[in-house]
Amino acid sequence: MSKHGITREQIEKLINDNSGLLRLEPAWVARNFLPPGRRFGLPDDQYELGDRGGICERWLASTTPADNAVKVDNEGLSFIKTDGEQITLKAAVKVAGDLVMGSQYHQEHAGLGKLAKIFDYAERLPYHLHQMKEHARLVGCNSKEEAYYFPEGVDMGPSPETYFGVHPYIARDSMQEVLLKYLKEWKDDTILQHSRAYKQIPGDGWHVPAGTLHAPGSALTIELQEDSDVFAMLQAKVGDTTIDKSLLFKDVTQADRERQGEASVLEMVNWEVNGDPYFYENRHTPQVPIENGGNGSGDEYWIFYNTDRFSGKKLVVKPGGTYRSIDKGAYNLLVWHGRGTFGGLAIEGQNPDLDEIMVCHARAVKTIEVNNSSDVDLVIFKFFSPEINPDVPMLTHYPA
């Protein structure tokens, strides 16, 4: 018996009994700095959670706990659907990582190394950054590189544009301290005047390295990232909502805060990336068709790429069609639209009881039949851990 209360034998039986496909329960995550966008389809009374804020995110195949001020046991962690004992995916990976991820991958990696999520806010998110490795490790966390995809057919919200980086002169001329006064005053959103906004387009996306200043727009967003929940907020107000300044220092050591105050956060900015005059060309990731991916009844596309930290695909199966899926390693999936079967397991988009699966390694590398029994496209998103797809495309880099 492990400290997680489960045994390897239990996980092995669970995987074998379900032919390598583990259904997952939805992991709803509350945030208290902005109101929820209410596009998850939950009953209205389930969005608001008092001091915890509101349900603004759903984490997918998560082995990462949410780092919120109001702590709730296991918030952010995904649970495997079972008929009996509650088992987190994190515990399953801990005691039987080779069975979930594959023996070789398990030998080379401590865990899944990534986190997929859907986030849904009523407003544009505050201008913020996620710490790079050297800063994240100071508070015992991983860095947080991430990427976005904006699914089609969803209301884009009131502010569907994202601010990225800073105007190039700020980085080029070592004018970073132009931002410092906003952090000290902490009164409004005018810090955004030093950034650039890009329209959010359905079916489109972005790659966002750690250390990038950004204020994501109000579109409902599917995100893939490293397994971390570190951030620093640099914007004092969003709409009518005042952001608690404690979130500026959430993942800053007490020693750095006392030594440098607000300036400590500016040391966490990757100024080369933020001041890149070709930020759009180097970070914009429209979906890319996968050559030879189609087999008559469907097609696959890269939607998360330009990095070796994670990767992701979109699978589209035509109405009434069957697609034969085969991949290079374990992944988790989210059924977004339509209904049918995946490896014989019933699936249905927008139904949290039937839309999320962890595909263990041994099953993922063999052919899986995906059937669309609906009269609309069956749309499935696949999320992969680091280094599983060595053929993931990279953008042509435009030097500054």
Decide if pLDDT at 3 tops 60: no
Closest to 212 measured CA to CA, from 262, 162, 164, 170: 164
* pLDDT confidence tier of residue 300, bands split at 50, 70 and 90: very high
Decide if pLDDT at 400 tops 90: no
Decide if pLDDT at 296 tops 80: no
Average pLDDT over residues 43-65: 96
Q: What pTM value is reported for the model?
A: 0.96
Decide if pLDDT at 15 tops 80: yes
Please, what is the average pLDDT of the chain? 96
Average pLDDT over residues 369-378: 97
Decide if pLDDT at 2 tops 60: no
Give the pLDDT of residue 388: 98
Give the pLDDT of residue 293: 63
Give the pLDDT of residue 4: 53
Burial of residue 159 (number of CB atoms within 10 Å: 0-12, 13-18, 19+): buried
What percent of the chain shows pLDDT beyond 90? 94
Of the CA atoms within 13 Å of residue 105, those in its CB half-sphere come to 25
Joined tokens for residue 393: 């495309």
* pLDDT confidence tier of residue 177, bands split at 50, 70 and 90: confident
Average pLDDT over residues 159-183: 94
Joined tokens for residue 280: 């759009």
CA end-to-end distance (rounded Å), the chain:
55
Average pLDDT over residues 278-304: 91
Q: pLDDT tens-digit profile of 242-253?
A: 999 999 999 999
Residue 374 contacts by C-beta under 8 Å, 6 or more apart in sequence?
Answer: 319, 338, 339, 340
Give the pLDDT of residue 292: 73
Average pLDDT over residues 15-21: 97
Length of the chain: 400
| Domains of the chain with bracketed CATH | 8-283 (2.60.120.10), 288-384 (2.60.120.10)
Does residue 311 contact residue 384 with C-beta atoms inside 8 Å? yes
Give the pLDDT of residue 294: 61
Decide if pLDDT at 84 tops 90: no
Rounded to the nearest angstrom, the gap between the alpha carbon of residue 120 and the centroid of all alpha carbons in its chain is: 12
Give the pLDDT of residue 1: 46
Burial of residue 31 (number of CB atoms within 10 Å: 0-12, 13-18, 19+): buried
Note every long-range contact of 35-44, with CB atoms under 8 Å and residues 24 or more positions apart, other chains counting.
Answer: 35/121, 35/122, 35/123, 35/241, 36/120, 36/121, 36/122, 37/120, 37/121, 37/122, 37/157, 37/218, 37/220, 38/120, 38/122, 39/120, 39/154, 39/155, 39/220, 40/118, 40/120, 41/350
Average pLDDT over residues 124-149: 98
Does residue 250 contact residue 31 with C-beta atoms inside 8 Å? no
* pLDDT confidence tier of residue 175, bands split at 50, 70 and 90: confident
